[in-house]
Amino acid sequence: MGDEYFPLYGNGGYDVRHYLLKVSYDPATDRLAGVATISARASQNLSRFNLDFVGLTVRSIKVNGRSASWSRTDHELTVTPKHGLKKGRRFTVVVRYDGVPITQEIVLGPGFTIEAGFIHTDDGAIVAGQPEVAASWFPVNDHPIDKASYTFVVTAPADLEVVANGRLLSRKRHGAKRTWLWHAPEPMASYLATVNIGQFDTHRYRTPDGLWMYDALDPDLFTEPVDPDDPASATYGGIAEGSLARQGEILDFLEERFSRYPFSTGGGIVDDYDNLLFALETQTRPVYSKFFFTSPPSGDSVVVHELAHQWFGDSVALAEWKHIWLNEGFAQYSEWMWSEEEGLGTAQELFDAFYNGIPAANPFWSVVIGDPGPQLLFDNAVYIRGAMAVHQLRLAVGDRDFFRILRAWTTRKAGGNGTIPQFMRLAERVSGEQLDELFRVWLFTAGRPALGGAAAAARSTAAARSSSGVELERLRR
Ligand code: TRP
Ligand code: ZN
């Protein structure tokens, strides 16, 4: 695919439309057996093609119903069909495989790694991680640029629940096992696919707006006080339940600022696993570490963050990983807007606290937010300075144009992919401002920016333009 940060991720030559993933998982042995049916279209003539696939054993591969040969390296599965595939033609690949999925160690920052990907828990499994985790449990074109719809057919012990993305279409018991059918119809980046297996209290309901929600909370969370020294303190489960109960309200809040919620279902998943140390915006149904739910404001805030990602990251996914600001800057800034709404500190106060509180010499200021490099992809600065950059944009163009930019971006790009330069162009078009300097300073320069410069300059041209009627003219277009 040619991602600058991760050259091996994804493959060219074809475009996947749908993954049908039939997997059975046995928590007692950690073994997974799968049949992946991949429906794709050739974008060029192909005598062979690559999938990303890591670990696990391939048992057989068929292309359009005929046995194909294959070879493997660490990361790449090269498939050679019996007959070449013609440009423009649809084709189907069926891969049978099994084994124990490996769990990834993901580097979040220097000296800070966490468990991610296919995580084996005490009673089941959690699948969540980024940038690249899907290849550890199914053969995939593993890059967000190749979105597809997904159907999950998951078999697990009958006493466990299975929660994936999208809508639950059926579940059927057969003997000691149960098979669950989940369908996620909207185009989805591969790293956003999740399957969670374990003991869960599940709750299916509709928000007042009519959106189908499916929440899953590990019952163990309700026996664990957040303060281990005070058995009477609130439990992780109680706090998580409270924050998930606000999802409808939070979605309304985000819809007012962005655009309509882009998917047909929602919800959240909270497992009790101690080594799950992050949240992830898995499409329609984020996965949350219990450790966010130590107080209601902290829990609400992470739910705001992951739900904001449903627009910024999921519906509008990255075209390349270097555009990470489009995900984390906006998800973080949504937390700041929510904080303001809740009376817990305004976006400006949060901006000021970080700006004034972090000395200019701190490495925080040396990260280039618009191109942080693969090592610093999820550095704290990408989040906080990312949100600061969003705030500066808002100050520069004013609230009216700022929210028009967010609406235009999330509607025009819905279901697709975006880049920072595309966002910059849209922001300029919608606001009628020249924003080069603002983005150069806040996204593409290391070092603590001087305040007042770029934003103030854009603000004064904004005032001049709107008084001349140019802005209104643009609005009508
Ligand atoms: N994107 C996630 C969030 O903002 C957090 C995250 C960053 C993450 N890097 C990760 C999650 C790696 C899993 C693995 O909510
Ligand atoms: Zn995030």
Given the CA of residue 313, which atom of ligand 1 is nearest to it? 1
Bridge pairing between strands 195-198 and 212-217: unpaired
Tokens encoding 414? 């819905």
Chain segment 199-229, per-residue pLDDT in tens: 999 999 999 999 999 999 999 999 999 999 9
471, pLDDT greater than 80: no
- Backbone φ and ψ for 334, nearest 5 degrees, come out as -60, -35
**Closest ligand to Cα 380:** 1
| pLDDT for position 467 | 43
Ligand in closest contact with the CA of 334: 2
Strands 76-80 and 69-72: antiparallel
Nearest-atom index, ligand 1, CA of 286: 15
pLDDT-derived band at 457 (thresholds 50, 70, 90) equals low
State the distance from the centre of ligand 1 to the C-alpha of 162, rounded, in angstroms. 22
Confidence category of residue 468, pLDDT binned at 50, 70, 90 = very low
Distance 327 CA to ligand 2 centre (A): 6
pLDDT tens digits for 100-148? 999 998 776 688 788 999 999 999 999 999 998 999 999 999 999 999 9
pLDDT (mean) for 352-364: 97
What sign has the CA pseudo-torsion 83, 86, 89, 90? positive
Rounded average pLDDT over 18-41: 98
Which protein residues touch ligand 1 with a CB less than 6 Å away?
106, 108, 116, 129-130, 278-281, 305-306, 328, 331, 378
Ligand 1 atom showing the smallest separation from residue 306 Cα: 15
Q: Tell me the H-state helices in 181-289.
A: 236-244, 247-257
311-356 confidence digits (pLDDT tens): 999 999 999 999 999 999 999 999 999 999 999 999 999 999 999 9
Q: Alpha-carbon dihedral of residues 359, 398, 455, 323, nearest 10 degrees?
A: 70
Q: How far apart are CA 98 and CA 280, in angstroms?
A: 26
pTM: 0.94
Q: Return the residue whose CA atom lies nearest to atom 2 of ligand 1.
A: 280
Residue 456 confidence class, pLDDT cut points 50, 70, 90 = low
Mean pLDDT of 400-410: 98
How does residue 433 score in pLDDT terms, banded at 50, 70 and 90? Answer: very high
Taking only the tens place, the pLDDT of each residue in 169-203 is: 999 999 999 999 999 999 999 999 999 999 999 99
